[in-house]
Structure 1
Amino acid sequence: MSLLVRLRTLLQALLNYRGFIAGSVQREFQTKYRNSILGAAWTVLNPLAMIVVYTVIFAQVMRSRLPGTNAEFAYSIYLCAGTLTWGLFAEIASRAQTMFIENAGLIKKISFPRICLPIIVVANACINFGIIFTLFSVFLVVSGNFPGLPYLALVPVLLIMIAFAIGLGIILGVLNVFFRDVGQFFTIALQFWFWFTPVVYPVTVLPEHIRALLRFNPMAPIIGAAQDILVHDRWPDWSTLWPVALLALLLCTLAMRLFRKRAGEMVDQL
């Protein structure tokens, strides 16, 4: 079966089960905040608390390290650009690597295209991200720091990151069914990965030999692109994003092949 035929079959399956996907997304969102007084406000409060903590700890040290920025809220915007973008990546990858285990009962009892599960993960993560990022965008407008046209570049940047995150997450999700240590290892690795990515600090604070290692970190150009757009009001360096886009495409391809190859065995392991 050619790639084009497979893609068309996949899209048709998603279209046929769009009601199932929409219902699952709505149910998961409602379940997450059921019996919660503040409800969806926690979507904003959790990342906001982290941003406040980092701002209090690092603002005085890092504000002078941001080259080419004179805005009053420069470091806060830099921090939000990094943490919100990273948060979307981390939520998609983390949820994807447990989605088959968490939905074991559903997989065994109901016949549906399993590709719906990654779509549900991405949709829920994007809803949460959309809520807080909309408020952040309003803050940029009110404070006079809205980046203008380069803001549109966030769309392809985030699409590349989402493809990378879900491709990685599906691979880890399949492996996690057979080797449960994978999930534990990734949780730890994600913490190290966060601090190896210029999210709360600018690249300029790193020694030259450490900066050279960032070329092996696919999230570094993604975070850097978001910070360029939102902090420096400039278009991202697309040449740094092409390798990540190709890696994302490769991971998604490998993820689908691995899933199709192991789908039958996964049901027995769940």
Structure 2
Amino acid sequence: MPSMDTSFIIEITKRDFAERFAGSVLGSTWAIIWPVVNLFIYIVIFGKVMGARLPGTSDMNAYGIYLAAGLIPWAAFAATITRSTSVFIDKKHIISKVSTSLPSLQLHIFLSETITFLISMMVFFFILTLQGHDFHPSLWLLPFLYYLQQLLALSIGLFTAVLNVFIRDVREITGVILQLWFWFTPIVYTSDILPGVVQKILPYNPAYIIIQSYQRMFIFHDYPPFHALLFLTITTHILLSFAFATFRYLEKDIRDFL
């Protein structure tokens, strides 16, 4: 298998990011406008105008911050899985012309979504700073949390990308699963409204562990659940190994089908 070309990954990452806003007057400025608009809706509309409140706190901005702290990482996580699932099909014109390793195409999605995530987070921090929000030392763990979240997304995305080459319905099935997964994860609601049986199985939901960690750091000024993160870290690396082993076993067939 050809070695990964760093310059190739960087080039298709830049092209991918630029193509999102190709033809628009403001161009890549939209990458900043959209996070500002979304965070305005989360924090101002939901928190102040609609009067949404988060149980356990009297801060009128708490629910908006809770919402943003969950939706920003979920957006990167879900987009990485969705785009990774179809990347071999979407980039088959490149695969047929350029000698490159297929996993490098996954990495360009990781980098592209990371740029979007960083812009959203910078806007988020800026708004929180303007509001005089207290930042907890646990926020230094954000890089690791993001790494773990995206490694999980890439692991799932690599496995579904392999399946999608042979069964094109996998992309649609993945979309349905992500939609159900989103609503099963306390992002726009709190876990205490769920039935007791559902609350007992929530700790086995990897997205819940990740999103809960973000929310604890931003809202409740607390550290993430380290035992749960340790378990998720081990599980994610096992899943990545399985996904990569599956890819290596079927790589020749993947190239033939494409």
- Normalised by the length of structure 2, the TM-score is 0.91
CA distance in 1, matches of 2:95, 2:174: 23
- The aligned residue for residue 190 of structure 1 is 178
The answer on 1:63 being equivalent to 2:53 is yes
CA distance in 1, matches of 2:27, 2:183: 30
> Which of 204, 221, 232 pairs up with 1:216?
204
Structure 2 contact 43–61 (Cα < 8 Å) conserved: no
Structure 2 contact 44–61 (Cα < 8 Å) conserved: no
Structure 1 contact 153–229 (Cα < 8 Å) conserved: no
Amino acid at match of 2:252: G
Amino acid at match of 2:189: Y
Structure 1 contact 84–129 (Cα < 8 Å) conserved: yes
* Cα offsets for 1:126-184 (capped at 9, x unmatched): 00111111110111112111423111111211111111000000000000000011111
Q: Secondary structure at the residue paired with 2:198?
A: helix
Aligned identity (percent) is 28
Structure 1 runs of 4+ with >4 Å offset: 44-51, 53-62
Give the unaligned 5+ runs of structure 1.
1-8
CA distance in 1, matches of 2:168, 2:132: 48
- The aligned residue for residue 195 of structure 2 is 207
Amino acid at match of 2:68: C
Backbone CA RMSD of aligned residues: 2.2
- The aligned residue for residue 125 of structure 2 is 137
The answer on 1:152 being equivalent to 2:176 is no
Structure 2 contact 165–254 (Cα < 8 Å) conserved: yes
CA distance in 1, matches of 2:134, 2:254: 47
Structure 2 contact 158–243 (Cα < 8 Å) conserved: yes
The answer on 1:78 being equivalent to 2:78 is no
Give the unaligned 5+ runs of structure 2.
none
Q: Number of aligned residue pairs: give it.
A: 256
- The aligned residue for residue 123 of structure 1 is 111
Structure 1 contact 137–146 (Cα < 8 Å) conserved: no
| Alpha-carbon offset, residue 215 of structure 1 | 2.4
CA distance in 2, matches of 1:189, 1:84: 19
The answer on 1:181 being equivalent to 2:179 is no
Q: Secondary structure at the residue paired with 2:70?
A: helix
- Normalised by the length of structure 1, the TM-score is 0.87
CA distance in 2, matches of 1:186, 1:54: 30
* Cα offsets for 1:42-86 (capped at 9, x unmatched): 334545655627975688575142x2x333311111000000010
Structure 2 contact 46–63 (Cα < 8 Å) conserved: no
CA distance in 2, matches of 1:56, 1:242: 36
CA distance in 2, matches of 1:43, 1:188: 26
CA distance in 1, matches of 2:176, 2:150: 21
